[in-house]
């Protein structure tokens, strides 16, 4: 009798657990439906994005625009009557572009103006610009094989496109972006006088895409700029017809002393004394409205917390929306936030970042333990109804990355990536390129993930 009794109790326990899980699923499904319904019918993120991009505008760290963005997002969270809204001091890099850049392809007596943008962190050219013969390369290895004899005194043109066969465009970006980041120093080591980089986009257009570059310690410092993809195609074609083709470019950018700025934080208070963070970066490149990168992530983060508050949800943990400053050219906001959390002995259960544009959400990348990934993936069915199927592959995000050292689970919102690099770091990254509905779906997805993590934890 003992074995059948034990078997019966085991089956009964299993059935009761299954019944509880089913009941829980129904409760969560109903609440998550409310989140999405509220976002799609009463969402506020799109109007916030309009004001951030069109009224505030470009907001590179250290700039007047960045300061206005701090004031604006703080006022938004205060207007939503979050429990606590405050600024966190952070010193940030202050690079300025200066006068509009100029560039020309010089083919004999023919001079063709082309779109160009200094890379963030680059030095200026001498007054009047620089002009030189061009060496086109597709890789650092190809550059090194040419050697100093062929490179010295010339301008190196890095022309490796993002791989169009990669369905994940972030993978294509990762495969090409080293040219932008390190190309100037690699060229300068061999005696080049400057570097020109093909813009990081799969699209053929006339918008140059900027982005950060860095100078290697001990290497000569030369100016670096990006040209549009159409200009890159033209330059490459012209070089094939005439290897003596020259390029001229002029830029007046400079790096000023670090400037004071702020992260902006809004809270919905919980009881546990622990934290769940959702955030995006407030800064954008200086000639871009930064609608997708990353105005969308900022307003989605505020909206995620607002939605839970509007639905009367009482969190177990304190939910924070964080507007990080200086992701684009320094990551000082993310580092400062993590350092402050460590000093204050704040326990962060999880952090969610949106920094891949305001497109249709498809999933969340997860950085954590196997058990944590399993917990998040157990909610797959709850998200599937909203087209969100990818739970696991991918990373968290640059701003929340420093929290990983404290054992925080990191999640990154993954939207459809096919159009992101059409606008990334270019002046075409404008408000009108963002779909209201897609933006709201992303904010709702983040709110649903916060709710589930807050309710069940991550272990």
- Please indicate, yes or no, if residue 14 is contained in any of the structural domains: no
The CATH number for 185's domain is 3.50.30.30
Give the DSSP per-residue string, 111-137: EEE--EEEPBTPPPPPTT-EEEEEEEE
8-state DSSP, 401: G
126 and 193 both lie in a single domain: yes
pLDDT of 393 reads 84
Give the DSSP per-residue string, 70-127: HHHHHHHHHHTT-SEEEEEEEEEEEEE--SPPEEEEEETTEEEE--EEEPBTPPPPPT
- Please indicate, yes or no, if residue 24 is contained in any of the structural domains: no
138 and 92 both lie in a single domain: no
C-alpha to C-alpha distance for 263 and 237, rounded to whole angstroms: 46
267 is catalytic: no
Report CA-CA distances (Å) from 10 to 2, 3, 7.
12, 10, 5
- Please indicate, yes or no, if residue 11 is contained in any of the structural domains: no
299-309 residues labelled b (16+ CB within 10 A) or e (exposed): bbbbbbbbbbb
Q: How would you list the strands of the sheet with 347-353, edge to edge?
A: 84-96, 254-268, 318-324, 274-281, 347-353, 409-415, 361-367, 390-392
pLDDT of 394 reads 84
318 within 8 A of 275, measured Cβ to Cβ: yes
80, 250, 327, 353: the catalytic one is: 327
Q: Please name the residues in contact with 321: beta carbons below 8 A apart, sequence gap of 6 or more.
A: 77, 82, 265, 266, 267, 277, 278, 279, 301, 302, 304, 305
105 within 8 A of 114, measured Cβ to Cβ: yes
Tally of CB atoms within 10 A around 319: 27
Residue that finishes a domain, picked among 233, 252, 271: 252
pLDDT of 23 reads 66
204 and 319 both lie in a single domain: no
Element (H, E) at 415: strand 409-415
The CATH number for 350's domain is 3.40.630.10
444 and 329 both lie in a single domain: yes
112 and 223 both lie in a single domain: yes
394 bridge partner residues:
none
212 and 170 both lie in a single domain: yes
Residue that finishes a domain, picked among 225, 252, 279: 252
Q: Which residue has the tokens 């999933």?
A: 363
8-state DSSP, 216: P
- Please indicate, yes or no, if residue 12 is contained in any of the structural domains: no
78 and 114 both lie in a single domain: no
Token digits of residue 393? 């592959």
Q: Which residue has the tokens 């606590």?
A: 84
Q: How many helices (H) and strands (E) does the chain have?
A: 14, 16
C-alpha to C-alpha distance for 332 and 402, rounded to whole angstroms: 10
63 and 115 both lie in a single domain: no
- Whole domain around residue 449: which residue ranges? 31-96+257-456
pLDDT of 189 reads 98
pLDDT of 12 reads 36
Please tell me the total count of domains within the chain.
2
- Please indicate, yes or no, if residue 390 is contained in any of the structural domains: yes
Q: Which residue has the tokens 């509220």?
A: 38
Q: Give how far the C-alpha of residue 150 lies from the chain's centroid of Cα atoms, to the nearest Å.
A: 38
Q: Checking DSSP bridges between strand 274-281 and strand 318-324, what pairing results, if any? A: parallel
Local mean pLDDT, 10-residue blocks, the chain (459 residues): 38 36 86 98 98 98 98 98 98 98 97 98 97 98 97 98 96 97 98 98 98 96 98 98 98 98 98 97 97 98 98 98 98 98 97 98 96 95 96 92 96 97 98 98 98 95
Tallying the residues shown for the chain, one arrives at 459
- Please indicate, yes or no, if residue 248 is contained in any of the structural domains: yes
């Amino acid at each position: 009798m003992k074995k059948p009794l034990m078997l019966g109790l085991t089956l009964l326990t299993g059935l009761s657990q299954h019944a509880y899980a089913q009941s829980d699923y129904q409760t969560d499904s109903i609440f998550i439906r409310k989140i999405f319904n509220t976002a799609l019918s009463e969402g506020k993120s799109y109007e916030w994005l309009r004001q951030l991009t069109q009224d505030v505008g470009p907001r590179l760290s250290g700039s007047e625009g960045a300061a206005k963005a701090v004031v604006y997002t703080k006022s938004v969270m205060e207007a939503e009557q979050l429990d606590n809204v405050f600024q966190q001091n952070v010193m940030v890099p202050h690079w300025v572009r200066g006068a509009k850049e100029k560039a020309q392809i010089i083919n004999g007596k023919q001079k063709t103006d082309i779109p160009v943008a200094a890379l963030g962190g680059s030095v200026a050219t001498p007054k009047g610009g620089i002009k030189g013969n061009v060496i086109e390369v597709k890789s650092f290895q190809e550059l090194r094989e040419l050697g100093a004899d062929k490179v010295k005194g010339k301008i190196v043109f890095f022309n490796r496109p993002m791989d169009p066969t990669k369905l994940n465009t972030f993978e294509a970006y990762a495969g090409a972006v080293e040219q932008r980041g390190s190309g100037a120093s690699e060229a300068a080591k061999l005696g080049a006088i400057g570097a020109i980089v093909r813009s990081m986009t799969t699209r053929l257009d006339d918008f140059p895409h900027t982005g950060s570059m860095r100078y290697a310690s001990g290497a000569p410092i030369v100016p670096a700029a990006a040209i549009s993809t159409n200009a890159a195609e033209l330059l490459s074609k012209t070089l094939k017809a005439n290897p003596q083709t020259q390029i001229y470019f002029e830029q007046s950018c400079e790096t000023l002393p670090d400037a004071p700025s702020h992260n902006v934080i809004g809270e919905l208070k919980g009881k546990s004394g622990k934290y769940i963070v959702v955030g995006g970066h407030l800064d954008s490149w200086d000639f871009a409205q930064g609608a997708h990168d990353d105005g969308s992530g900022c307003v989605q983060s505020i909206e995620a917390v607002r939605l839970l508050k509007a639905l009367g949800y009482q969190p177990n943990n304190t939910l924070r929306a964080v507007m990080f400053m200086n992701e684009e050219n320094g990551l000082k906001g993310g580092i400062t936030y993590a350092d402050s959390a460590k000093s204050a002995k704040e326990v962060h259960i999880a952090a969610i970042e949106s920094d891949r544009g305001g497109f249709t959400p498809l999933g969340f990348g997860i950085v954590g333990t196997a058990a944590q990934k399993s917990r998040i993936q157990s909610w797959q069915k709850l998200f599937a109804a909203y087209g969100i199927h990818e739970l696991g592959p991918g990373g968290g995000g640059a701003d929340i990355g420093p929290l990983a050292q404290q054992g925080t689970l990191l999640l990154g919102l993954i939207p459809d990536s096919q159009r992101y690099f059409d606008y990334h770091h270019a002046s075409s990254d404008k408000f009108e390129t963002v779909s209201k509905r897609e933006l709201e779906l992303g904010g709702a997805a983040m709110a649903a993930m916060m709710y589930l993590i807050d309710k069940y934890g991550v272990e």
